[in-house]
Amino acid sequence: TFGPMTTYYFLLCLTNPDQSTPIFGEIFLFTLPILLLVVAILNSNNIRDMEEDKALGVNTLASMLGPKLSRVYFAALQVAPHFIAAWLMDKYNCPGLLLTFLVIPRSLWQIYRVCIRNISALRGPARKSVVKETSDTVLIYGLATAMGLACSPRGEPVNVVGVAVSMAVMAFFYATLQ
């Protein structure tokens, strides 16, 4: 319940439940991409530690799926949020969600790092950085979602200045989180 339930709880606390309860489904849909990316953080950690976990008898989803399927699962967790954002953009007329597409290169980089490159060969800080980089991707995606919705609320025209500022913020995070 990483994102949807927490968001809904705060919405109930801050608003009239009679007004917020009917939109719970929409809240769930708009927070689902972040939920999937947060699960990807856990999965990247499990993939990274799969050999050690298996040797210690620790059962994780990654160890149960095995090396190939756990990586396919990770890739799906990285790609699905972008498809969901495209669907939400179309269904709810929120063109600001296009900002989330700026995160696609980073998601693809994460897929390369976790799924294609051999994590087991990494040692020291490089090995630990896999989870941090996945977390950074979640941060950037979340900011892109929030800024995109703020720049173009449902059914409203796009605020060009807001998009420009949002893109500058995204560029800053891309540069600093490398």
Q: What CA–CA distances, in Å, run from 42 to 25, 46, 58, 92, 143?
A: 25, 6, 15, 30, 20
Confidence tier at 77 by pLDDT (50, 70, 90): very high
Confidence tier at 86 by pLDDT (50, 70, 90): very high
Residues 76, 79, 85: CA angle, nearest 5 degrees:
130
Query: Among 10-19, 27-36, 115-124, 136-145, which is the least confidently predicted range?
Result: 115-124
Predicted pLDDT of residue 120? 62
Q: Which fold has domain 33-176?
A: Four Helix Bundle (Hemerythrin (Met), subunit A) (1.20.120)
Confidence tier at 89 by pLDDT (50, 70, 90): very high
**How large a percentage of the chain has pLDDT more than 70?**
90
The structural domains of the chain, with segments of one domain joined by +, span 33-176
- Strand ranges inside the chain, DSSP E: none
pTM to 2 decimal places: 0.83
